[in-house]
Structure 1
Amino acid sequence: MLILDKPYISKFLENTIVEMELPVLKNDAIKEFGLTNDIDYLKDEEFIRKFKENEEFFIYSNSENPINWIANNLSFTDLPEKINIFKDKVEFRKLLKDIYPNFFYKEISFSELEEIDITEIRKPFIIKPSIGFFSMGVYKVNSVDEWGNVVKELKREVKRMKGKYPIEVIDSSKFIIEENIGGEEFAIDVYYNDLGEPVILNIFKHIFSSGEDVSDRVYITSKEIIENYYSLFLDFLSQMGNLVNLCNFPMHVEFRVDKDKQVTPIEVNPMRFAGWCTTDIAYYAYGINVYEYFFKQKEPNWEEILKDKEDKIYSIVVADLPGDIKINNIEGINYEGFVSHFENPLEIRKIDYREHAVFAFLFTETNRDNWQELEEILNSDLKEYIKLKE
């Protein structure tokens, strides 16, 4: 069963729902997105009744917006409790305290930002909303001198975020300060099957333009990445699953891995895979329909899948607007020029930049010896693709 919501529903997901004849909750988002009538839509009462009656049903959501609906309507299950453990970053750190006993974190309220004494906190540290999404409101603080500017920027960003997402997705009233986690950043799509075993469906490496960059511009996946990190992540996921007794539960998990191959989780996003349906890249890269794998309890045969992928890199490129351009000054986007930068673009998904400050998500395939094309887009401000009003 599915609960669909903003910000985005891909045609790939819609087609999968029709092909698999999956029931979908009939909510306001369905009307806004204008999805096909070939889907089996269920009103609230029918959705709840079917879920109660059939233990074989389990839920996937493309978004975290329905978390409040789940809390209010599925309280007879353990879903709300499990979602909260992962969605609230403070609760998540409490869950892992026995695995990471020396990890520093501290919860503060928005009103305490200007009052807290950060001289006693080891730097660098990260501050972000305790309940958050994407890289919104995430800042790295390297010194006491930077704190004043970070607070100002945080306040501006909180003002911009207000009203764009439900409080269950982004709660700007509470923040967490935690130690900076060193190493390279990764994200994975995984579900726990009916035996409580984690099944990894994709592994992404989040690449950055610099040590200060916290943007979501480029995520890559490849044979090398999956083969090098699969066992590491599977070990941690097995430990975490035992702590919460997870079954039939999808999630998107972010990690850092240091030079000694020590794995530290950054956060868990419950009930979904990679946001904005970017999880679909698993199909373009590896032929894995993650929704089908979850609902049919399928497990990838990675040895077979990866055997012809030696020199290929698959990327998600998030084309976000530069912060110094006012949306009202934009006349249009040169999508053709943007796509032409890449040697083998697989799919371009145009986004309403006036609402989301992102003009596209792009899936692309790059030969390993053409890494430069990813470096260039990673460091670009993308202004060359934005036409401004005269």
Structure 2
Amino acid sequence: MLLIDKPFASDFLIKTIKDNKFPIITTAASKSMISDTSLNWISEKEAVERYKNESDLLLYSNSENAISWIEKHLKFSRLPSQIQLFKNKILFRELLKDAFPNYFFKGVQLTELTKLDASKLKFPLILKPAVGFFSLAVHKVDNASEWKKVVENIAQEIEAFKGMYPKEVVDVSDFIIEQYIEGEEYAIDCYFNKNGDPVVLNVMHHIFSSDKDVSDRVYSTSKEIIEKHKSEIEGFLKIVGERAHLKNFPMHVEIRVDSNNAIIPIEINPLRFGGWCTTGDMSYFAYGFNSYEQFLYQKVPNWNTIFETRKDTFYSLIVLDNNSGINEKDIASFNYELLLKDFKKPLNLRKVDFRKYAVFGFLFIETSKENKSELNNILTSNLRKYITVKNTD
């Protein structure tokens, strides 16, 4: 069963729903986004009854905007509390703290940030909303003087993205302070099957331009990346699944892997794969299987067969966030055609209303080892070469 909500449902996801005749819940949001009447639409009442009476019913949502619907209609189930365990980063840290006893974190209200004595904090650290999305209001802070500057600017930053997402998705009333872990960051799409066993559907290396970079610009996956980390990731996921009692549960996971190959959890996004139908669709572009079908039919990818034809190829998701320093209201247009010329093998481009979401779009590409420089170029780009500014004369 599918619960579709704003801001975006891809053509690929909608086609998946249609081809498989998956039940899709008729909500105001889903009907405003999808006009195809031939889909297997079911009423909200029927959806609730099915979830109540069918113990093996699987639910997937494309967006955390749907959390409020789940909290309202499925409060008789364990699902709302499981979602909150992961959506609230403080609760998530509490869930796993005895498995990671040396990892420092602290929850603090937004109103208390200015009152904290920075000299008592251990730097470097990460400061971010306890309930967040993308890299909104996320900062790496290296010292006490930086702390003061960041805290002073947070109110202005919050004002800039206020209204983009509902409170269930981004809530800045509480923040989490946590230690910064040296290492490489990875994003994982996975699900827990009916027996509570984790199934990994993709592993993506989240690449940064510097140790101060906290953006979401580039995610890459390959045979090498998956084979190197899959076993340890499955072990980590088993700990999460046992503690949260997870079954029939999809998620998007972010971790760091330190120099000792130890996994440190960052966050878990419940009941979906990557936001904006990004990483969920990416498995098809990269590996030829459909992640939504894998979960809803409880399938496991045959990685040995998949990798036979993809040994030296990288597949990447490019998030075209507006890091230009130019306010969206001052931008006349974004040159997507020029963007595509900078990549040897673009696979799919999705344009976004940048005035509403501060993101120009999402690009999926295939890259060989020989032309990986195009990834570095877009990673460090401020995107200004693609932007036309409004004429103010």
Q: Same fold (TM over 0.5)?
A: yes
Per the alignment, residue 352 of structure 1 pairs with 353
Moved more, 117-126 or 193-202: 117-126
Q: Which runs of 5 or more residues in structure 2 are unaligned? A: none
Pairs within 5 Å for 1:158-307: 158-279=158-279, 280-307=281-308
Per the alignment, residue 318 of structure 2 pairs with 317
Per the alignment, residue 105 of structure 1 pairs with 105
How far apart are residue 9 of structure 1 and its match?
0.5
Q: Runs of 4+ in structure 1 displaced over 6 angstroms?
A: none
Distance (Å, rounded) in 2 between the aligned partners of 1:98 and 1:215: 29
1:343 aligned onto 2:341 = no
Q: Which amino acid counterpart does residue 187 of structure 2 have in structure 1?
A: A
Distance (Å, rounded) in 1 between the aligned partners of 2:373 and 2:172: 37
| SS of equivalent to 1:136 | coil
Distance (Å, rounded) in 2 between the aligned partners of 1:326 and 1:264: 35
How far apart are residue 288 of structure 1 and its match?
1.6
Distance (Å, rounded) in 1 between the aligned partners of 2:354 and 2:38: 29
The answer on whether the counterparts of 2:129 and 2:175 sit within 8 Å (CA) in structure 1 is yes
Distance (Å, rounded) in 1 between the aligned partners of 2:132 and 2:66: 14
Per the alignment, residue 76 of structure 1 pairs with 76
Distance (Å, rounded) in 2 between the aligned partners of 1:379 and 1:89: 29
Q: Which amino acid counterpart does residue 134 of structure 1 have in structure 2?
A: F
What is the TM-score when the length of structure 2 is the normalising length?
Answer: 0.97
Q: Which amino acid counterpart does residue 154 of structure 2 have in structure 1?
A: L
Distance (Å, rounded) in 2 between the aligned partners of 1:171 and 1:249: 23
Distance (Å, rounded) in 2 between the aligned partners of 1:275 and 1:6: 10
| SS of equivalent to 1:260 | coil
Q: Which amino acid counterpart does residue 321 of structure 1 have in structure 2?
A: N
| SS of equivalent to 1:269 | strand
1:385 aligned onto 2:386 = yes
| SS of equivalent to 1:66 | helix
CA shift digits 1:263-317 (9 cap, x unpaired): 0010000000011100201001101200000000000111111122121110000
What is the TM-score when the length of structure 1 is the normalising length?
Answer: 0.98
Q: Which amino acid counterpart does residue 342 of structure 2 have in structure 1?
A: H
How far apart are residue 323 of structure 1 and its match?
4.7
Distance (Å, rounded) in 2 between the aligned partners of 1:202 and 1:128: 26
Per the alignment, residue 362 of structure 2 pairs with 361
How far apart are residue 53 of structure 1 and its match?
2.2
| SS of equivalent to 2:82 | helix
Pairs within 5 Å for 1:29-68: 29-68=29-68
Q: Which amino acid counterpart does residue 206 of structure 1 have in structure 2?
A: H
CA shift digits 1:106-140 (9 cap, x unpaired): 11111111101121111001110011111111001
| SS of equivalent to 1:209 | coil
Name the Cα RMSD after superposition.
1.1
Distance (Å, rounded) in 1 between the aligned partners of 2:35 and 2:296: 20
Distance (Å, rounded) in 2 between the aligned partners of 1:320 and 1:243: 35
The answer on whether the counterparts of 1:14 and 1:35 sit within 8 Å (CA) in structure 2 is no
| SS of equivalent to 1:114 | helix
Q: Which amino acid counterpart does residue 366 of structure 1 have in structure 2?
A: T
Q: Which runs of 5 or more residues in structure 1 are unaligned? A: none
How far apart are residue 214 of structure 1 and its match?
0.5
Q: Which amino acid counterpart does residue 287 of structure 2 have in structure 1?
A: Y
How far apart are residue 35 of structure 1 and its match?
3.4
Per the alignment, residue 116 of structure 2 pairs with 116
The answer on whether the counterparts of 1:255 and 1:265 sit within 8 Å (CA) in structure 2 is yes
Q: Which amino acid counterpart does residue 69 of structure 2 have in structure 1?
A: W
The answer on whether the counterparts of 1:330 and 1:388 sit within 8 Å (CA) in structure 2 is yes
Distance (Å, rounded) in 1 between the aligned partners of 2:333 and 2:141: 35
CA shift digits 1:55-100 (9 cap, x unpaired): 2211100010111111121111110111111111111111101111
Q: Which amino acid counterpart does residue 376 of structure 2 have in structure 1?
A: E
The answer on whether the counterparts of 1:201 and 1:288 sit within 8 Å (CA) in structure 2 is no
| SS of equivalent to 2:246 | coil
| SS of equivalent to 1:293 | helix
Q: Which amino acid counterpart does residue 237 of structure 1 have in structure 2?
A: L
| SS of equivalent to 2:361 | strand
Per the alignment, residue 89 of structure 2 pairs with 89
Moved more, 229-238 or 324-333: 324-333
Per the alignment, residue 19 of structure 2 pairs with 19
How far apart are residue 157 of structure 1 and its match?
1.7
Distance (Å, rounded) in 1 between the aligned partners of 2:198 and 2:62: 19
| SS of equivalent to 2:221 | strand
Q: Which amino acid counterpart does residue 191 of structure 1 have in structure 2?
A: Y
| SS of equivalent to 1:365 | strand
The answer on whether the counterparts of 2:324 and 2:382 sit within 8 Å (CA) in structure 1 is no
Distance (Å, rounded) in 2 between the aligned partners of 1:31 and 1:106: 41
Count of residue correspondences: 390
The answer on whether the counterparts of 1:251 and 1:268 sit within 8 Å (CA) in structure 2 is yes
Q: Which amino acid counterpart does residue 349 of structure 2 have in structure 1?
A: I
